[in-house]
């Protein structure tokens, strides 16, 4: 994410949309609010970019759907497929089972 010297993101709808997706991706990746990830001084810079709770969730869902679509397309185009399985436990000790086809 590139911030202008004035502290606000470069103007333009496409830049704001891109920044919104980048921030949503960072939040999803770190599983923490943006002020914890970037520090308190970045809070004012982020406020200039539309990212309400519902917008952030929608952006994260869009990123997940796009990633899923890319993986499905790669699997469909690949002549060979491997299946990887993993099991993990959450903090509540609920077991999660994951498979990944590549």
All structural domains of the chain with their residue ranges: 13-77
Q: What is the DSSP letter of 95?
A: E
Contacts of 100 (CB under 8 A, 6+ apart): 83, 84, 86
Q: Between 26 and 7, where is the model more confident?
A: 26
Rama region for 26: left / alpha / beta (φ>0; ψ in -120 to 50; rest): alpha
Averaged pLDDT, 76-92: 74
- pLDDT, one tens digit per residue, over 13-57 is 577 777 777 877 877 777 766 555 566 666 666 666 666 777 778
């Amino acid at each position: 994410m590139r911030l202008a010297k004035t502290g606000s993101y470069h103007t333009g709808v496409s830049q704001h949309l891109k920044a919104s997706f980048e921030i949503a991706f960072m939040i999803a990746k770190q599983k923490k609010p943006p002020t914890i990830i970037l520090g308190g001084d970045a809070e004012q810079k982020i406020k200039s970019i539309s990212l309400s709770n519902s917008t952030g969730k929608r952006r994260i869902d869009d990123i997940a759907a796009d990633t899923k679509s890319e993986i499905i397309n790669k699997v469909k185009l690949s002549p060979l497929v491997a299946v990887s399985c993993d099991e993990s436990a959450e903090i509540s000790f609920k077991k999660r089972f994951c498979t990944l086809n590549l």
